[in-house]
Structure 1
Amino acid sequence: MSAIEARLAELGVTLPDSPAPAANYVPYVVTGDTVYVSGQICMNADGLILGKLGADMALEDGAAAARACAIALLAQLKSACGGDIDRLVRVVKLTGFVNSTADFTQQPQVINGASDFLVEALGDKGRHARSAVSAAALPLGVAVEIEGIFQIA
């Protein structure tokens, strides 16, 4: 087991198989030492996490959805690294999209669910630049979608 996966196991997290793309795109692109991971929508063991922040979903549930996106990002990263996630040098940047009402302004607190998890799991390797934006709707009605940029060895 890799060092990163051992740390994830301590947190009670096992990386799932990387989700297949839902349309005509690739799940990640590796160029040089950079991995660009396509947007990952929030899913858990029960399926898609649906909802709109500011309407029918609480902030804490949105943050949990963002955490689920971060786990999916790491699963894609592991695939991009040929199964060796310990090639990760650092998380460079996340862009988080929050399905929210026009008057909801706590998108950063929602995306903290992903950021906090990555720092907890990866330490300083998990610290990153970030954007958190509102979206009127997201694919399939999910609450959160996050894309990521990673540096690998």
Structure 2
Amino acid sequence: MSIEARLTELGITLPEAAKPVASYVSYVQSGNTLTISGQLSNDANGGIKGTVGVDVTPEEAQAAARLCGLNLIAQIKAALGGDLDRVVRIVKLGGFVQAGPDFIAIPAVINGTSDLMVEVFGDAGKHARSAVGVYKLPLGFAVEVDAIVEVK
């Protein structure tokens, strides 16, 4: 089954790939490695902003991480000229959570992205990962995730 068919089966509509908000590019391909810049928990409704464990619940934060994953897939699609079937493997995700002082369930939040990658790409979506709590994220968003992807 193609990745586009899988997205349809899952009822997922990808957003437009976000434009950079500062001095960087959205993705870089070097050989068979595609590196996607950090994608925020943003959507057409403004996304999920705030500090997890303070004004964002763990469940909202996991939904925010899923938004990051959708934005990552949109960037991958843009980088590959629309052909998601060129993805060989999601190699690594780097997850960042704007966490309150007592919030420690950072890995559970980033599962929102990790689980999406496996839903969409199957075994090729299984990846290495880091999950880090940070003081602040750009524009006040709750979660940011970047990716390294092997492509053909």
**Matched residue SS, 1:14:** coil
Counterpart-to-counterpart distance in 2, 1:45 and 1:19 = 11
Counterpart-to-counterpart distance in 1, 2:23 and 2:108 = 31
Displacement of 1:17 after TM fit? 1.6
What is the CA RMSD across the aligned residues, in angstroms? 1.1
**Matched residue SS, 1:92:** strand
> Who is 1:84 aligned against?
83
What's the CA shift string for 1:2-59, capped at 9, x where partnerless?
Answer: 8112111111111122110001100000000000000000112311311111101111
Q: Specify every segment of 5 or more residues in structure 1 that has no aligned partner in the other structure, as ranges.
A: none
Counterpart-to-counterpart distance in 1, 2:100 and 2:59 = 16
Does residue 138 of the first structure (1) align with residue 137 of the second (2)? yes
TM-score normalised to the size of structure 1? 0.96
Does residue 116 of the first structure (1) align with residue 115 of the second (2)? yes
Counterpart-to-counterpart distance in 2, 1:121 and 1:48 = 21
**Matched residue SS, 2:109:** helix
- Over 3 Å off, 4+ runs: none
> Who is 1:22 aligned against?
21
Count residues in correspondence. 152
On the 8 A contact 1:5/1:14 being kept in 2, the answer is no
Counterpart-to-counterpart distance in 1, 2:43 and 2:17 = 13
> Who is 2:41 aligned against?
42
What's the CA shift string for 1:110-130, capped at 9, x where partnerless?
Answer: 000000111111110100000
On the 8 A contact 2:47/2:64 being kept in 1, the answer is no
Counterpart-to-counterpart distance in 2, 1:131 and 1:63 = 15
TM-score normalised to the size of structure 2? 0.97
On the 8 A contact 2:36/2:75 being kept in 1, the answer is yes
Percent identity over the alignment is 53
On the 8 A contact 1:42/1:69 being kept in 2, the answer is yes
On the 8 A contact 1:65/1:144 being kept in 2, the answer is yes
Counterpart-to-counterpart distance in 2, 1:27 and 1:45 = 18
**Matched residue SS, 1:76:** helix
